[in-house]
Structure 1
Amino acid sequence: MGVRHPKFKAAVVQAAPVWMDLEGTVAKTIKYIEDAAKNGAKLVGFPELWVPGYPWHVWIGTPAWAIAKGFVQRYFDNSLTYDSALARQIAEAARDNKITVVLGLSERDGGSLYISQWLIGPDGETIAKRRKLRPTHVERTVFGEGDGSHIAVHERADLGRLGALCCWEHVQPLTKFAMYAQNEQVHVGAWPSFSMYEPFAHALGWETNNAVSKVYAVEGSCFVLAPCAVISREMVDEMCDTEDKRSLVHEGGGHAVIYGPDGSPLAAKLPETEEGILYATIDLAAIGVAKNAADPAGHYSRPDVLRLLFNNKPSRRVEYFSLPHDVTEPKVNGSD
């Protein structure tokens, strides 16, 4: 009997969050989970920092301006904690709809925020909670870092080997290779929006970053689900209090895509200002054909020439220990 190759329907979300509104975005999240499941999807991916939206204000003004406008406090207060009632609502929605969810969120942990992805199984149980290894550029004024344990792929009987990264983690060659080396089959690459600094910053635009997702699919011989957020007119109006700021951020920027392991597009794109869900059939049998040609972490590698040094252990800021309560002094020269 041959190898069993799972085949299922997957979905990616292209939409604007209810920006800096935690409860509103959680409600919208649950609606998309329900819609994806009703349309037969077994997996749904959400954009980077979907909850409560990407902090675009850090790209258009100074830190002092963001504090004075109240953005810093609002963003912190509307970020999600994993042990909250709202987080349980999302997990229950995954369970009730029997769908695996990969959620992008601003994770609040104590006094810090992290760019995180939460992988939730169709039973509502947590598969993994990961953090972006290194926030990009001005993101570092808001978010802390992940560690090597967050560069991981997870075996799922119904979906194959599932992994996830955020945004420009996809332009980090060593991070990508660490994922490929774990035989990733289905990858959720979460993106924010591609309407910032256009048209003068091509590296931040949709053409470059859709190409990055396509290359990841070919390099990893895996399916890439790339959800992408939309910047709404309401978000622009709220952020932009001067004309120079309006020249930096624009409505739209939604460019969600799904690619097969040969780089072929599997779903028609939506208009960049439109909200909706893209669907594609994922047939893991296609991966064997792609890897036959080139498997960069397998037969197409040369570990005698080039190898990756990868620390995948959790990085703990505090290590707790205790001394034994009863310490007996050792005897010296047979003395009592």
Structure 2
Amino acid sequence: MAIRVRAAAVQAEPTWLHLPDGVAQTIGLIEDAAVGGAQLIAFPEAFLPGYPWWLWLNSVDWGTEFRSRYLANAMTRDGAEMRAIADAARWAGVHVVLGFAERAGAEIYLAQAMIGPDGRILVSHRQSPTSLEREVFADGIAPPAVHHTELGRIGVLGGTDHLCPERRVDLWREQVHVAAFSGFTVYHDVDDDSTIAVNSTVGEQYARDSRTVVIAPTALVPMTGWSVVDARSPEHLMLSGGGEVARIIGPDGRDLVRPLPPGRPGLLFADFVVDESANPWTDGQGYMRAC
């Protein structure tokens, strides 16, 4: 059976460290995706309450301040905020893949929620945060899974878990893959093109290796016009906001649709067909057809 799917990938700046505004923003994007005809919308990693870019800074004081704020604005999987988002998914009739920082007691996890149009919520974790990310996030305890939906088998991974072969094995037989990236800042003298290439290369290679459609949302980070300078050398720029682009990629590693311009917020839509009897492939026109 062939299933026609319209998906939307989010390219947007999170409302950094302000969960109520972030929930409202998330609900608004879900509604916009539904108006655009999407049956599936994918959000970046840690979209709520934003990725903790302060980890890159060398100030212990900054870390202490931001970690307490980050914990306070992280979301629980069974709280009122998640329920409001699930209700929005149900009212809009769309599947939602939402990256968020999950608060569980004193621990925080890089989590992915698969929310169905019936409002059901399933949560998985990034299994292997980087050594720097472990300053904030614990190792995942809810492994990635393939979600069986009326749109096909959808797998989800966040960030650097794409570089771990054992994580990819966990997603065997997926038909659509959500590669949730947090986006990048620009560090020191690294240029935007280099950082954009990291996510793009990972998404393209994953699509070719797995023969799946890859939906790669991304955050615009960390804030519009945001930058940090070294207090000891004010002329030395340490961090600044990057461009970054969301992509929807066919199994041949090529874009199904032209990405949005770097740094511009919006939703990227693409249409494809999932064949339940075989892995799909691209016909070069932004749609999928069965082999």
Is TM-score (shorter-chain normalized) higher than 0.5?
yes
Do 1:197 and 1:204's aligned partners in 2 also have CA atoms closer than 8 Å? no
Q: Distance in 1 between matches of 2:80 and 2:61?
A: 32
Q: Distance in 1 between matches of 2:12 and 2:27?
A: 13
Cα shift at 1:5: 1.7
SS in 1 for 2:69: helix
What is the one-letter code of the residue matched to 2:22? T
Superimposed CA distance per residue, residues 249-299 of structure 1 (whole angstroms, 9 cap, x where no aligned partner): 2223321111011212012122222100001012113963659xxxxxxxx
Instruction: Give identity over the alignment, percent.
Output: 38
Superimposed CA distance per residue, residues 24-81 of structure 1 (whole angstroms, 9 cap, x where no aligned partner): 11100000000000000000000010000000000122444321xx211111100001
Q: Distance in 2 between matches of 1:216 and 1:125?
A: 28
Which structure has the highest strand share of the two? 2
Q: Distance in 2 between matches of 1:252 and 1:202?
A: 6
Report how many residues are paired: 280
Where does residue 217 of structure 1 map in the other structure? 207
Where does residue 97 of structure 1 map in the other structure? 92
Do 2:230 and 2:237's aligned partners in 1 also have CA atoms closer than 8 Å? no
Q: Return 5+ residue gaps in structure 1 as ranges.
A: 292-336
Cα shift at 1:171: 1.1
Q: Distance in 1 between matches of 2:211 and 2:224?
A: 39
Where does residue 262 of structure 2 map in the other structure? 272
Q: Distance in 2 between matches of 1:204 and 1:26?
A: 31
The counterpart of 1:178, out of the listed 170, 173, 176, is 170
Q: Distance in 1 between matches of 2:51 and 2:223?
A: 15
Indicate yes or no: 2:11 matched with 1:14.
yes
SS in 2 for 1:273: coil
Q: Could you tell me the TM-score, scaled by structure 2's length?
A: 0.89
What is the one-letter code of the residue matched to 2:32? D
Q: Distance in 1 between matches of 2:225 and 2:138?
A: 24
What is the one-letter code of the residue matched to 2:97? V
The counterpart of 1:151, out of the listed 144, 147, 156, is 144
Q: Distance in 1 between matches of 2:235 and 2:109?
A: 26
Where does residue 138 of structure 1 map in the other structure? 132
Indicate yes or no: 2:68 matched with 1:73.
yes
Q: Return 5+ residue gaps in structure 2 as ranges.
A: 283-291
Indicate yes or no: 2:156 matched with 1:164.
yes
Q: Distance in 2 between matches of 1:198 and 1:266?
A: 33
SS in 2 for 1:7: strand
Cα shift at 1:84: 1.3
Indicate yes or no: 2:53 matched with 1:61.
no
What is the one-letter code of the residue matched to 1:88? R
Indicate yes or no: 2:31 matched with 1:40.
no
Q: Distance in 1 between matches of 2:87 and 2:235?
A: 40
**Structure number with bigger Rg:** 1
Q: Distance in 2 between matches of 1:260 and 1:275?
A: 22
SS in 2 for 1:101: strand
Q: Could you tell me the TM-score, scaled by structure 1's length?
A: 0.77
- Greater mean alpha carbon deviation, residues 216-225 or residues 239-248: 239-248
Cα shift at 1:241: 7.5
Cα shift at 1:244: 6.0
What is the CA RMSD across the aligned residues, in angstroms? 2.4
Superimposed CA distance per residue, residues 211-263 of structure 1 (whole angstroms, 9 cap, x where no aligned partner): 111111111111100000002545725x6684669723222332111101121
Cα shift at 1:6: 1.0
Do 1:217 and 1:261's aligned partners in 2 also have CA atoms closer than 8 Å? yes
Do 1:236 and 1:246's aligned partners in 2 also have CA atoms closer than 8 Å? no
What is the one-letter code of the residue matched to 2:125? R
Change (3 A) 1:225 1:289: closer
Q: Distance in 2 between matches of 1:269 and 1:100?
A: 22
Where does residue 288 of structure 1 map in the other structure? 279
Change (3 A) 1:232 1:208: closer
- The correspondence of residues 223-234 of structure 1 with structure 2, limited to 5 A, is 223-231=213-221, 233=223
